[in-house]
Amino acid sequence: MNHEYHHLKKEIQLYRNINLEHSKNTTNLILIAWGAVLMILANIKPIAIHDINVSIYFMIATVLFISNCILYFAMKYRHANTIHIWKAIAYIIVFHEKKPPKKGENGETNCCYEMIKHGLRIEELNDHKETNNVIMKFLETNTEHAIYSLISIIMMFVSAIILLLNIINENNSIQYIVDIALLTLCCLFITTSCMMYRAIRKRRKTKYDIEDRYTAIIKTIEYAIEKKYCTRDELKNRLSDEIYEKYLGYKNERMKNEPRI
């Protein structure tokens, strides 16, 4: 048991390190993409906006869209790793850890780090009060990746406006059709990027974060009970009060109506 416990702890730390390294690499890629955009802008001569080739702005919008795609798939990869971490933690809590004895009770000292950490997280979320400050609220509900994505969308929107201005001043009918096609693609990029931004931001919200954590614990508890590895009474004696009560609250009345094992 001890060997498995330490192996799981090492695996959790490994996945956390992978997430950290992946986050740094993603940030570097985004900065490189933005650097490419700045290089394109630096080579544009200071002339009237409507005199600049529209393909330049479309190229900028394309680079920004690619950066948003990188952010989106990086979020998906990181979330998959995080789910794996939560499953490992849930396994440790259910099968390895035991709540420590209360003051005045006899009992040995137990491994309960992950369990206590979850309990503290529950209390933290229960006591959390949303700030009225718009800037602070935005920073609380967005990761750095979500902020990068939003900045890219704003720059893409500016590129789309410049493309539109070029179309208005276009006299060549063939070029006009080409410009319309490029603007349509640019609008498609912006729409898709907005959807990806919403998905990236969604994964940071406290509501989804805590639901994912509890889902891992709940499924592990249900599996343990279903396979008769332990009973509800055993879990009640071993799990912390916060986790056990939250588990019952999450399943509402369903667990109360099920026959006891």
Quick: pLDDT tens for 195-251.
999 888 877 655 556 677 778 888 888 888 888 888 777 877 777 766 767 665 544
Residue 255's pLDDT band, with cuts at 50, 70 and 90, is very low
Name every residue whose Cβ is closer than 8 Å to that of residue 100 and which is 6 or more positions away in sequence.
Answer: 107, 109, 110, 112
For residue 259, the model assigns a pLDDT of 36
pLDDT for residue 46 is more than 80: no
Q: What is the pLDDT of residues 116-166, one digit of tens each?
A: 777 777 666 666 565 566 566 666 656 778 888 889 999 999 888 888 877
Residue 70's pLDDT band, with cuts at 50, 70 and 90, is very high
pLDDT for residue 190 is more than 90: yes
**CA 216 remoteness from chain centre:** 16
pLDDT for residue 50 is more than 80: no
Closest CA to 137 of 149, 145, 128, 124: 128
Contact (Cβ atoms closer than 8 angstroms) between residue 30 and residue 71: yes
Please tell me the number of Cα atoms within 13 Å of 165 on its side-chain side.
13
For residue 72, the model assigns a pLDDT of 92
pLDDT for residue 35 is more than 60: yes
Q: pTM value?
A: 0.76
Q: How large is the angle between the packed helices 144-168 and 54-95, nearest 10 degrees?
A: 160
- Which is more confidently placed, 99 or 209? 99
E strands along the chain, which residues?
Answer: none
Closest CA to 239 of 95, 137, 104: 95
Residue 36's pLDDT band, with cuts at 50, 70 and 90, is confident
Distance CA 14, CA 162 (A): 46
Domain ranges of the chain: 2-99+109-257
Distance CA 109, CA 113 (A): 12
CA distances from 151 to 60, 195, 222, 234 (A): 13, 14, 43, 51
pLDDT for residue 19 is more than 60: yes
